[in-house]
Structure 1
């Protein structure tokens, strides 16, 4: 796993190469939310919800595990170490640090990639509450999910950094 953006290198790639590249690029955007921020900044709440920079990365770990580890590989949420309720994935505690949450996210996405490598795009994830769906659907959904949360995080990060330098 390299830390370079890949989507520009797959302009004429296969469908799978393009999906994996966009997913990888959005994973990098999520990880970058914590680049250079302090523990306090990572936990700072600017909205009424539990959304913080740290919580967004922790939630991204949850969605990696929910879709790849559970839905595709068939693990239970308990086996994957994630809560049953997605909202609980935004909860942080004193053991969650920038370093630990980021490391957990990188492990979850590396394992997700390893799991997905054994499947074709049309293979079905049957261990899902929605019913059978394809790996292609999971890839597209993950791109959408991570892009949305990276956007949320970009706005929070901009506000936090501006407040602390202004």
Structure 2
């Protein structure tokens, strides 16, 4: 369901539609790119398209698996910091990072299925927050990074 299909639906359906749209958009920024293009640094920071998708995967796991699901980053095998979440390992590929992203999305859907937006998530190290807040934070991050990814992709394709 697209966001314009949900204009009269309930809040949860609308939030799900927006999150799913941005999940799809960020993943498609790697479509048709070579491994070199996906790893190419075009800005002074270490940000790359592959690194952005890796970070967004980490971000969703932190908010849904840690915060809502109650698992620790150590138990989840997650790096500890935002900066580390962008780092690309030698064995990371477009296929492997994309698969990890899809898996994180599927796990997030399973974790929140049936939970009301008023559910208080207590697993995040910064303290409790509602599931509604988690959705909004994830949506903000996805939209923010989709913008970065779109610009990086435009630069890659222009060269």
Q: TM > 0.5 between the two?
A: yes
Deviation at 1:86, TM superposition (A): 1.3
* Aligned-pair CA distance for 1:33: 1.2
- 1:20-71: CA deviation from partner (whole Å, max 9, x where unpaired): 1000000001101111100000000011111100000000110110000000
1:156 is aligned, of 131, 152, 156, to 152
Q: Of the two structures, which has the highest relative contact order with CA contacts closer than 8 Å and spacing of 6 or more? A: 2
Structure 1 outlier segments of 4+, above 6 Å: none
Consecutive unaligned residues of structure 1, counting only runs of 5 or more, are none
Partner of residue 94, structure 2: 98
Matched, 1:43 2:39: yes
**Equivalent residues, number:** 159
Q: Distance in 1 between matches of 2:70 and 2:80?
A: 15
Deviations 1:101-130 (A, max 9, x none): 001000001000100114110001111122
Establish whether residue 88 from structure 1 lines up as the match of residue 84 from structure 2: yes
Normalising by structure 2, report the TM-score. 0.97
Q: Which residue of 2 aligns with 1:74?
A: 70
The reply on whether 1:112 has 2:108 as its aligned counterpart is yes
The question of 1:12 aligning with 2:8 is answered yes
Scaled by the length of structure 1, the TM-score of the pair is: 0.93
Q: Distance in 1 between matches of 2:139 and 2:77?
A: 22
Residue 61 (structure 2) aligns with: 65
